[in-house]
Chains A and B, each alone.
Chain A
Amino acid sequence: MLCDDCKKNEATIHVTNIVNGKKTESHLCQDCANKKEHADMFKQLHQSFGQFPKFSNSGSFGQLGSSIFDNDFFNNDFFTNAVYPDGLLQDSHSQRCDQCGMTFDEFNRTGKFGCDHCYEVFDQEITPLVKRLQGSLAYEGRVPSRGTGVFKTRHQIKRLRQELNKAIKGEDYEKAITLRDQIKQLEDSLHKDAGAKTDESSAS
C-alpha cells in the first residue's frame, strides 16, 4: 500500500481516527508521519501561546517561559483575556495620549502603542505589562550617545559593577582593582556634572 500523502513510499504507519463518530483511516510512510507530527506540534504550540501565554521567571535565563511568535502574538484579544486583569483597565479608559491620540482601550485592541509619549501617559499600565512580557523591568542595553551623557555614565557604572562582581567571584583581584578605579573615576565625573548643573540653575 502506498502512502496517502506522498503516494510514493510504502505506507508503514496506519492510524485509525474517530471524528464525530466517523471512522477514518490513514496510511502514511515514516517520512510523511514525521512531517505530520511536526506540523501538529507547531500548530499546538502556536494555539496554546495564543490562548494562554505563560510567563515565568523560572527559566534558566530568568526570562519568558514561553514563546511569542512576533506579530501574530497579538492577533487575538489576548491583552483583554489574559494579560490584563479587567480591574486595572477601568481607570484609564478615558485617558488619551496628547501627542498621538491613542487611548489605552485602543492599545488593548491592537497591542501596539501610538508614539513614544504613550509610554509616559500610560506608564502605570505599561510598567506591569512589560514586566510580565519581558520578565524584567531593568533596561540593560545600549544608550544613545546624544544628550544623555549623565544617563550613559550611570549605565557604564552599572555594567562595570557587574564586571567587578564577576571578577571578584573569579578571584581575579588585579582586574577587580582596575574596575574599581574606573568606577570611582566615572562616579566622580557624575558628581561634578551634577554639581555644575545645580550651580547653573541657582544662578539663573
Chain B
Amino acid sequence: MIDSILDQPLSQWQTEGTLDKEHIVLSSRIRLARNFKGIAFTNRDKEDALEKVDTMMRRVPSLLTKVDGKSYSDISLDKLSGIEREVLVEKHLVSPNLVEKVNHRSVIISDDGAVAIMVNEEDHIRIQSMAAGLNLTKAYERAVQIDDAIESTYDYAFSEKFGYLTACPTNVGTGMRASVMLHLPALAITGKLNRVVRSIIQLGYSVRGLYGEGSEGLGNIYQVSNQVTMGISEEDTIAQLNKIIEGLIKEEEKARQSIAREHSDAFEDRVWRAYGVLAHARKLSGAEALSLLSDVQLGIDMGILHMKSNAFFDKLVVITRPNFLSKYAGQDSMTADERDAYRAKVVRDALNIEQ
C-alpha cells in the first residue's frame, strides 16, 4: 500500500469524494493533537519516551481496523528514502516538522488515504482526517472515531482545567485544528484577495499558502484554519469556520462573475495563453506550472476550456511538486534543469489525455 501512496498523485478519498462544480474548495481537514499520560513530550528527546510511544502506536492499526473495518499501514520514516519522505510532505500526509528526524517517527495511513496519524511529531500523536470538498463534519466524525478507539486503550494527557494537554500552549484545549483548502484565482486576479484575507485574520482565523507560511500565492491555493482551542467546542469551531468558508466562496464567485462581465476577452486570452504554454513548453518550473494550472482550472470552471476528468487540477498540483516528480521519473537525483524538462513533459502528456 505504501507504494500506491507514494506513486499515485491522489488518494482514493480525493477521487471518489464529491467536488463542488466550481472547484473552489479542494479539501477539508481535521487535526487532533494528543499526548499520552505520564510520558515526556517529543521535544524532550528522551529515547525511552520516544520508543514507548512508538511501541504503543504499533498496536493501533489493528485496533482501528476492528472499529471501522478499513486497513491501516504503519510506515516508519527510517524505512523510507529522503525523497519518499518528502513526497509524504508534498501530499500533505505528514508535516515538514515530522520528517526532520526519523528515529521512532512514523505515520499510520488508512488504505483510502483519508486518515494519517503522525507519531512523535510535536505531540505524541496527531490524528489527521481528510475529506473532499467542504465537509469538515465528515472529517471530524472520522477523527473522533479514531480518537475514541485510541483512548479506549491508552490514557491521554488531559486535565479538567485545560482539556487535552499539548506541547505548545496554542493547541491546548481541544487540540483541534480544522482547515479548508481553497483555490481562489479570481480574488487574486481582481486584487481583492488581500482585503478578504485581512478580514478573515481579524476574526481570529489563519490564512496560509499551499505549503504553509511562505508559500502564499502558490497556485492561488490557500488554507484557512482556526487558531483558538479554548473557550469553544469542536462543533462550534467547525460551524464558525464553515460560515467563513461559505462567505469566502461567495466572494470568489462574485469575483468570477465580475471577470466574466467586465474582462471576458482579456480573460479568455489569458486562459488560452496559459493552456498554450502548458501544452507546448519544454521547460516548466514548479511555481510557473502551478500559476498556469490555476489559470487553466479557472478557465475550466468558467466554461472556456473543457477537460475529461474532474480532478485534473488537484492531480497536477501534486505531480508537479519536485520530489513527487523525481519519484515519478524513477530517479533519485535530478538537477533542477532535468526536473523542469521532465515536468513540462508530464504536463504535456496529461493535457493530451484530457483533451
Contacts and interface: CB of A to CB of B under 8 A. Distances in A.
Nearest to A59: B204
B231 A137 contact: yes
A134 B231 contact: yes
A24 interface: no
Interface stretch (B20-28, B169-177, B307-315, B333-341): B169-177
Interface in A97-149: 99-102, 110-117, 119-120, 126, 129-130, 133-148
Nearest to A33: B191
B61 interface: no
Given A71-B122, A113-B167, A119-B159, A142 B216 contact: no
A46 interface: yes
A102 B44 contact: yes
A99 B38 contact: yes
Given A68-B206, A69-B206, A134-B230, A101 B44 contact: yes
Contacts of B168: 71, 74, 111-113
Contacts, number: 187
B228 interface: yes
Contacts of B173: 134, 139-141
Given A61-B240, A67-B227, A113-B167, A39 B216 contact: yes
Contact of B162 (A39, A62, A119, A145): A119
B79 interface: no
B227 A141 contact: no
A112 B216 contact: no
B3 interface: no
Interface residues of A, number: 60
B43 interface: yes
Contacts of A62: 231
B138 interface: no
Given A115-B40, A136-B232, A146-B151, A46 B213 contact: yes
24 contacts: A35-B217, A38-B216, A60-B203, A61-B203, A63-B228, A63-B231, A65-B204, A67-B204, A69-B208, A70-B206, A112-B122, A115-B157, A119-B172, A135-B230, A139-B160, A140-B173, A141-B164, A141-B175, A141-B232, A142-B144, A142-B147, A142-B233, A144-B156, A148-B160
Interface of B: 35, 37-41, 43-44, 46, 97, 122, 144, 147-148, 151-152, 155-170, 172-176, 188-189, 191, 193-194, 197, 201-209, 212-213, 216-217, 227-234, 236, 240
